[in-house]
């Protein structure tokens, strides 16, 4: 019956992980997937996560019963407080809802699916940044939206194209949906400044656009959880109704546990309840109810003063190692006098650097040097360490010159 089903292309990011794994070359480097690595190039189970897991093993009150459809209450409360701030007016007014989802992807999907079914403007378009994480387009198109791009990356300045972004926001039909990265933009590592966020909010408010934030890197960008939440909190203060997809994959290193949350800021508590009820109905038909393990770790750490502090230290050590790798890579390229300007490597923040390398250059990096990165020139900074950064810089120097 399925002879006519065409084969689909492999996911580019996961394909890089498999290709790297299969490569026998001893000095191979994986700068593909956005997953933290230690100085030894190994995945890192955060010490605070290990501690929380040990506490849970000895907690006889925990069992493997189903969670409620919208997830674990303590987790949802902790997650919404983390992103909005415990003193958020919207929280106090009881108009913030949430749904525990299958990490960030699940949260974006859940929000997108709700919008596809219930957004009042029929035929509304979703705008994503150019470039963005490939899954954004896949998710929004998957639930039936037409997806357009707004300018974001300025190849000339290797920074934000604010002007282009604002022009498109002004030109977009009123009430369009804009997917925004609150911090550590994936793939560019370029974020608007607070003043630029104010300008973005001005246009979005004037045009009645809907803001959907995808927050995968809170605390990971700067090491400061509040600073990384600035844009979301600012939009909430300005009175926007909005969605925030939160992932705890990166900032807790809980990649495979799929711990995520969709925070919903509604106009009134009643509207919040209406939205949550629809999301519960939809969630039941897709995952029935979310998994418990990762969310229990997150809520335990977020609700305990000592564990919370330790988590902050763990976060800072990841953020700082990445910042240090940016500095080392920049220094190496400067030492080698690699043609071009490389300041953007140190100016960008978060997990990724958007190097400006072209697809043909990336191909040579892969084939000649066994360095794996996405074709758009994005590198996962965590894949670098003091042992491979020179090798990588040499390889970049070679492909840029030839
Ligand atoms: C990435 O962009 O590499 C990560 O967010 C992993 C993923 O799911 O694509």
Ligand 1 environment, Cβ below 6 A: 13, 33-34, 133, 186
Contacts of 382 (CB under 8 A, 6+ apart): 34, 35, 36, 37, 318, 321, 322, 325, 351
Q: Which of 18, 31, 133 to mutate to test the pocket of ligand 1 (most atoms within 8 A of CB)?
A: 133
Phi, psi values for residue 272, rounded to 5°: -55, -45
Residue 181's nearest CA partner among 215, 154, 230, 151 is 215
Residue 380 CA, closest ligand 1 atom number: 3
| Domain range list for the chain | 12-44+319-401, 73-303
Residue 133 CA, closest ligand 1 atom number: 2
What is the residue-level pLDDT of the chain in tens, covering all 402 positions?
Answer: 999 999 999 999 999 999 999 999 999 999 999 999 999 999 999 999 999 999 999 999 999 999 999 999 999 999 999 999 999 999 999 999 999 999 999 999 999 999 999 999 999 999 999 999 999 999 999 999 999 999 999 999 999 999 999 999 999 999 999 999 999 999 999 999 999 999 999 999 999 999 999 999 999 888 899 999 999 999 999 999 999 999 999 999 999 999 999 999 999 999 999 999 999 999 999 999 999 999 999 999 999 999 999 999 999 999 999 999 999 999 999 999 999 999 999 999 999 999 999 999 999 999 999 999 999 999 999 999 999 999 999 999 999 998
Residues annotated as catalytic (active site), given as ranges: 133, 214, 250
* Centre of ligand 1 from the C-alpha of residue 1, in Å: 34
* Centre of ligand 1 from the C-alpha of residue 267, in Å: 32
**What class, spelled out in words, does domain 73-303 have in CATH?**
alpha beta
Q: Which of 32, 34, 218, 251 to mutate to test the pocket of ligand 1 (most atoms within 8 A of CB)?
A: 34
pTM score, two decimals? Answer: 0.96
Nearest CA to ligand 1 atom 4: 34
| ipTM exceeds 0.90 | yes
Nearest CA to ligand 1 atom 2: 34
Fold of 12-44+319-401: 3.90.1150
Residue 249 CA, closest ligand 1 atom number: 5
Which tokens is 155 given?
């190849």
Residue 236's nearest CA partner among 125, 118, 81, 347 is 81
């Amino acid at each position: 019956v399925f002879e006519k089903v065409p084969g689909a292309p492999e996911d580019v990011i996961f394909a890089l992980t498999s290709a790297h794994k299969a490569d026998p070359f001893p000095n191979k480097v994986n700068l593909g997937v956005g997953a933290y690595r230690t100085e030894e190039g190994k995945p890192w189970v955060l010490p605070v996560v290990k501690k929380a897991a040990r506490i849970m093993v000895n907690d006889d009150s925990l069992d493997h019963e189903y969670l409620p459809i919208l997830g674990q209450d303590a987790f949802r409360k902790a997650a919404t407080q983390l992103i909005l701030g415990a003193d958020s007016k919207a929280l106090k007014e009881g108009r913030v809802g949430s749904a525990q989802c299958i990490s960030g992807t699940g949260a974006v999907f859940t929000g997108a699916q709700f919008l596809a079914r219930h957004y009042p403007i029929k035929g509304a378009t979703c705008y994503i940044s150019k470039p963005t994480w490939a899954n954004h387009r896949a998710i929004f198109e998957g639930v039936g939206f037409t997806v357009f791009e707004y300018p974001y990356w300025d190849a000339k300045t290797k920074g934000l194209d604010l002007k282009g972004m604002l022009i498109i926001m002004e030109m977009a039909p009123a009430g369009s949906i804009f997917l925004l990265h609150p911090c550590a933009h994936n793939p560019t590592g370029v974020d608007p400044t607070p003043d630029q966020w104010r300008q973005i909010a001005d246009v979005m408010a004037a045009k009645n656009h809907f803001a959907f934030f995808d927050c995968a890197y809170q605390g990971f960008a700067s090491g400061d959880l509040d600073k990384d939440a600035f844009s979301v909190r600012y939009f909430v203060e300005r009175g926007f109704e909005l969605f925030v997809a939160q992932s705890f994959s990166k900032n807790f290193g809980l990649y495979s546990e799929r711990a995520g949350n969709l925070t919903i800021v509604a106009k009134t508590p009643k509207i919040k309840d209406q939205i949550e009820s629809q999301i519960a109905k939809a969630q039941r038909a897709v995952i029935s109810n979310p998994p418990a393990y990762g969310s229990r770790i997150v809520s335990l750490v977020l609700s305990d003063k000592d564990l919370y502090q330790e988590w902050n230290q763990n976060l800072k050590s990841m953020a700082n190692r990445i910042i240090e790798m940016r500095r080392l890579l920049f220094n190496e390229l400067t030492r080698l006098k690699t043609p071009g300007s490389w300041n953007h490597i140190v100016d960008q923040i978060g997990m990724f650097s958007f190097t400006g390398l072209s697809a043909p250059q990336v191909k040579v990096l892969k084939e000649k040097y066994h360095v794996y990165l996405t074709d758009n020139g994005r590198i996962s900074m965590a894949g670098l360490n003091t042992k491979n950064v020179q090798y990588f810089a040499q390889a970049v120097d070679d492909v840029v010159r030839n």
